[in-house]
Amino acid sequence: MFVIMLVFMYSTGCANDNNTHPVANNNPDTTGLPPVEKKSPNSDYASAFAGQTRIAGVKTTTPYIVEKIADRLGAPFAIVAMPDGRLMITIKSGYMEIHDANGKLVKKITGLPAVVYAGQGGLLDVAFDPDFNSNKIVYWSYSERYEGDNVTTVAKAKLNEVTGNVENVSIIFRAAPSTGNTLQFGSRLVFDKDGNLFVSIGEKFAPDSRVLAQQLNSYLGKIIRITTDGKPAKGNPFINQDGAKPEIFSYGHRNPDGLEINPATGELWESEFGPRGGDEINIIHAGRNYGWPVITYGREYSGEKVGEGIQQKAGMEQPVYYWDSVISPCGICFYRGNAIPEWKNNLFVSSLSGQHLDRLVIKNNKVVGEERLLTDKRSRFRDVTYMDNKLFAITDNGDIYRISKK
């Protein structure tokens, strides 16, 4: 039997909500447990390989503490570790907040261009220039009114923390074409080791835009790689192909809302919303086609098949892992520290509709175990970040949870 003790302690944040999770009694086997998903799948589709879904459950044995360190911040999209050990949070209505590691608000950042704050749109992700400590340049993605419709846009500016503003704003990329839809913009930002910026872009949901995920003359349903000035990154796979957008790195995506570099391999990992079922985790390789909307393990929200209802096709990549029923995977991060050894290089996935933080144990680029954390919070988890041997997760209603070794 696993014993979970609720411990009330003083927190430097704005709420006392601390859970201590001690090691299990008598050291029972905590691998190879039953799968964590108990709901019936939406489809009877067959997996492409063993372990692609509903993998065996695992249980963390290292004692850890969950603390709510802030609450009611608004409608956040991203929580990102800053190079100096603080946290930057984007609020979808159009501003950012800097918080310290104990959750205390340090500064509100304004002066960003207007966002389309509707549907799933608004201020989205934020990333820091590789030379941020010296140049103070930040990058962010947002939904912008452009050419009469809406588009996913990336901008950059200098952060002036003293005044609480961004200065010398410049737009470096727009994910044309713009559409009237306010759903599935993406988008996450991640720098690679060469200082180029990955940007994930959704296909905007509508039937006439989802098909553009398969077309290389459109940015919708793509992951792109650009320089800090918004130019195509050197070595991009379609840079010399006629009719193809040279910024494209991969294609065939639905709504990729999580991006992260695997610290163990240097590869780019991605989380992607399926429709009714078929949420995915992918390893992103240059030039690959990830299948949407031709292949998917999900169904339409109506219950009908998507397209021909196929899950595999030559030339299209399979997800490393998928969920059916859905968990609505949003922001992701790898645990890079040693404080909780069994979490080393595990992938953590913030879950919206699933209302938990998902832990995926990775071995040889395969998922070999799954655990659901923070289920007692009954909250839609929007994003998660790693910093200083801790995880920081943020919910749709603006609560920040810090997870650390006891």
Instruction: Classify 369 as helix, strand or coil.
Output: strand
**DSSP for 150-205, written as a single string:** EEEEEEEEEEETTTTEEEEEEEEEE-SSPBS--S--EEEEEE-TTS-EEEEE---S
CATH code of the domain in which 135 resides: 2.120.10.30
Burial 16-54 (b: 16+ CB within 10 A, else e): ebbbbbeebeeeeebeeeeebbeeeebbebebeeeebbb
Segment holding 69, helix H or strand E: strand 64-70
331 half-sphere exposure, CB direction, 13 A CA radius: 28
Q: Listing from the earlier edge strand, what are the strands of the sheet with 366-373?
A: 329-334, 347-351, 356-363, 366-373
Task: State whether residue 212 is helix, strand or coil.
Answer: helix
Q: Are 142 and 115 spatial neighbours (Cβ–Cβ below 8 Å)?
A: yes
One pLDDT digit (tens) per residue for the chain, 406 residues? 333 333 333 333 344 456 766 544 444 567 789 999 999 999 999 999 999 999 999 999 999 999 999 999 999 999 999 999 999 999 999 999 999 999 999 999 999 999 999 999 999 999 999 999 999 999 999 999 999 899 999 999 999 999 999 999 999 999 999 999 899 999 999 999 999 999 999 999 988 899 999 999 999 999 999 999 999 999 999 999 999 999 999 999 999 999 999 999 999 999 999 999 999 999 999 999 999 999 999 999 999 999 999 999 999 999 999 999 999 999 999 999 999 999 999 999 999 999 999 999 999 999 999 999 999 999 999 999 999 999 999 999 999 999 999 9
Largest Cα–Cα distance of the chain, in whole Å? 64
CB atoms within 10 A of CB 60: 17
d(CA 90, CA 287): 31
Alpha carbon distance 25, 2 (integer Å): 7
Residues forming beta bridges with residue 332, ordered by sequence position: 349
Q: Which domain holds residue 257?
A: 72-365
Q: What is the pLDDT of residue 321?
A: 98
126 neighbors 95 (Cβ within 8 angstroms)? no
39, 94 contact by CB (below 8 A): no
Look at residue 127 in the predicted model and tell me its pLDDT.
98
Of 392, 362, 314, which Cα lies nearest the Cα of 69? 392
Q: How far is CA 130 from CA 90, 231, 261, in A?
A: 19, 17, 14
Counted domains in the chain: 1
pLDDT at 25: 41
Q: Does 312 fall in a domain? A: yes
Task: Kindly report, residue by residue over 157-177, the tens digit of the pLDDT.
Answer: 999 999 999 999 999 999 999
Asked if residue 16 belongs to a domain, the reply is no
d(CA 152, CA 351): 22
Contacts of 307 (CB under 8 A, 6+ apart): 293, 294, 296
Give me the pLDDT at residue 29, please: 62
Cβ-count burial of 71 within 10 angstroms (0-12 exposed, 13-18 middle, 19+ buried)?
middle
Q: Is residue 274 part of a domain?
A: yes
In a domain, 341, yes or no: yes
**How far is residue 243's CA from residue 245's CA, in Å, rounded to a whole number?**
7
Per-residue pLDDT at 15: 40
pLDDT for residue 32: 82
